[in-house]
Amino acid sequence: MNSILKDPSLWREAALIDGEWIAATPHGTTELRNPANGDLLATLPRCKEEETTNAVLAADRAFRKWRTTTAKHRSQVLYRWWQLIVENKNDLATLITLEEGKPIAEARGEIDYAAGFIQWFAEEAKRIRGDVIPSSKDTQRIVTLKQAIGVCAAITPWNFPAAMIARKAGPALAAGCTMVVKPASQTPLTALALGELALRAGIPAGVFNVVTGNDTRAIGGVLTSHPLVRKITFTGSTEVGRLLLQQSASTIKKCSMELGGNAPCIVFDDASIDLAVEGILVAKFRNTGQSCIAANRVMVQDGIYDALAERLANRVSKLLVGNGLDDGVQIGPLIDSAAVGKVAEHVSSAVNAGARVLTGGQHHSMGGCFFQPTVIVDVTPDMTIAVEETFGPVLPLIRFKTDDEAIAMANDTEFGLAAYLFSKDAVRIWRTSEALETGMVGINTGLISTEVAPFGGVKQSGLGREGSQYGIDEFLEIKYLCWDGLSND
């Protein structure tokens, strides 16, 4: 299977611990299958407590040296990693499409996005600064240092197999931390290829480790309880985030959580319909709807509801569904049959409660993990499809009359990750943006992710921010030096 890559040595079926490829463990293997056709892609060694502990110990040994390297050195090494990721973009994108299913053009876009975090934090490494604070005593000086927190454990989801790792490893390594990555068991190949490129870039053994297999609880148990792990950085569902926070409480780890969303998208009467259509399509159907910031509930004001619904249904009915490696495909398979079952259930329960399907609504004729791109109208806020994250190619449209009604509906959820709004009225845009209880607001756009801006949620969508000048703070501790005994004589 590795012959599909230009550089077959990026295909690794082994865990990466302390710079060594561990091809077998005593616990057997986990099979990895392509969601587009069910084909066996790879078999990965199963790591359990022992291997995860070894990775933590290796990361701790490596930390003792890595933390003392100069910021300039770490910056240069990260730059080399960034360059190698960019040079190997097509192979990395192929791995993403094979294991995750997204169309290859989107997978290449994900590599650009992921590489952007490594480049950004290569730059930020050199900008970690403390302060000199005026003291209230003339014999005293007060200074702060920012220091790497230590060994970090990254637990990442399958939906962005490269970007979710880069968003964490970039700032962690720039700060001087080391890392044990537990990628989703459905998408380890991309993580392992990033590990191979990290070694080639000169990132020392033990600084970036990857554990494999589907013994998720065993691996997670070690990562959240081992005293040498000082930080958990997690992206995934709110349910698992809550569990990891509980488990991390026993050793009081610093935790960052990028969790689930239920993004509202509000389209006001005065919006540009063209911008709204393009924005909604990208916000909803990117990665076949499997994005934490996917527009999960699109609320459209009464005056343009029918016209917008028709335009969207027309465009959605033309989206090309297929194997993500095939030319021109816009919608790939969902990650697994459980995901398809959830999407089908959300659609049927909405229809049973009075919603109408304008296009799609069924399993796709390709079978397996494919579902038709769908638009549903007459959705109401109490329907499951508007309350839970659907994580699939289904666009539900809710009607509203007043601005206050839309804002109240948007905020009526425990989630608070992203929101979108479409309008040309500056007063309305400010008022609505300030009232929305989310960490991010897209205004007249459906594409908000970039390494230069702080990504993260409020409420039960998360703790902390990734990317931007704030992202590196999550991997640093502030130490304050109170220096007395200075005489003015």
Cα–Cα distance for residue pair 340/11, rounded to 1 Å: 28
Min dist CB 463 to ligand NAP, Å, is 10
Cα–Cα distance for residue pair 417/381, rounded to 1 Å: 18
DSSP assigned state of 3: G
Q: By C-alpha distance, which of 372, 395, 382, 402 is closest to 308?
A: 395
Which residues within the stretch 198-227 sit at the binding site for ligand NAP (CB under 6 A)?
214, 216-217, 220
Task: Give the one residue of 32, 181, 198, 240 binding ligand NAP; rule: CB under 6 A.
Answer: 240
Which residues within the stretch 182-201 sit at the binding site for ligand NAP (CB under 6 A)?
182, 184-186
How many CB atoms neighbour CB 352 within 10 A? 9
Cα–Cα distance for residue pair 486/75, rounded to 1 Å: 36
Min dist CB 283 to ligand NAP, Å, is 14
Radius of gyration over alpha carbons of the chain, in Å?
Answer: 23
**Integer angstrom CA distances of residue 211 from 44, 62, 227, 245, 389:** 10, 16, 18, 20, 28
Min dist CB 375 to ligand NAP, Å, is 21
Task: Give the one residue of 63, 158, 208, 285 binding ligand NAP; rule: CB under 6 A.
Answer: 158
Is the Cβ of residue 107 or residue 377 nearer to ligand NAP in the bound state?
107
Task: Give the one residue of 91, 389, 451, 474 binding ligand NAP; rule: CB under 6 A.
Answer: 389
Min dist CB 453 to ligand NAP, Å, is 13
Is the Cβ of residue 214 or residue 432 nearer to ligand NAP in the bound state?
214
Task: Give the one residue of 101, 150, 289, 462 binding ligand NAP; rule: CB under 6 A.
Answer: 462
Is residue 314 within the footprint of ligand NAP (CB under 6 A)?
no
Q: Residue 46 burial (CB < 10 Å; 0-12/13-18/19+)?
A: buried
In the three-class reduction of DSSP (H, G, I as helix; E, B as strand; rest coil), residue 209 is classed as strand
Cα–Cα distance for residue pair 227/208, rounded to 1 Å: 18
How many CB atoms neighbour CB 136 within 10 A? 7
CA dihedral 106, 207, 253, 149 (to 10 degrees): -110
E strand segments, 60-137: 131-133
Is residue 124 within the footprint of ligand NAP (CB under 6 A)?
no
Is residue 159 within the footprint of ligand NAP (CB under 6 A)?
yes
Is the Cβ of residue 157 or residue 324 nearer to ligand NAP in the bound state?
157
Task: Give the one residue of 357, 394, 417, 421 binding ligand NAP; rule: CB under 6 A.
Answer: 417
Is the Cβ of residue 217 or residue 424 nearer to ligand NAP in the bound state?
217
Which residues within the stretch 49-88 sit at the binding site for ligand NAP (CB under 6 A)?
none
Is the Cβ of residue 65 or residue 217 nearer to ligand NAP in the bound state?
217
Is residue 299 within the footprint of ligand NAP (CB under 6 A)?
no
| Residue of closest CB approach to ligand NAP | 220
Residues carrying an active site annotation: 258, 292
Min dist CB 259 to ligand NAP, Å, is 5
**Integer angstrom CA distances of residue 72 from 2, 79, 145, 449:** 36, 10, 17, 27
Under the rule (CB under 6 A), what is the footprint of ligand NAP? 155-160, 164, 182, 184-186, 214, 216-217, 220, 235-237, 240, 243, 258-261, 292, 389, 417, 457, 462
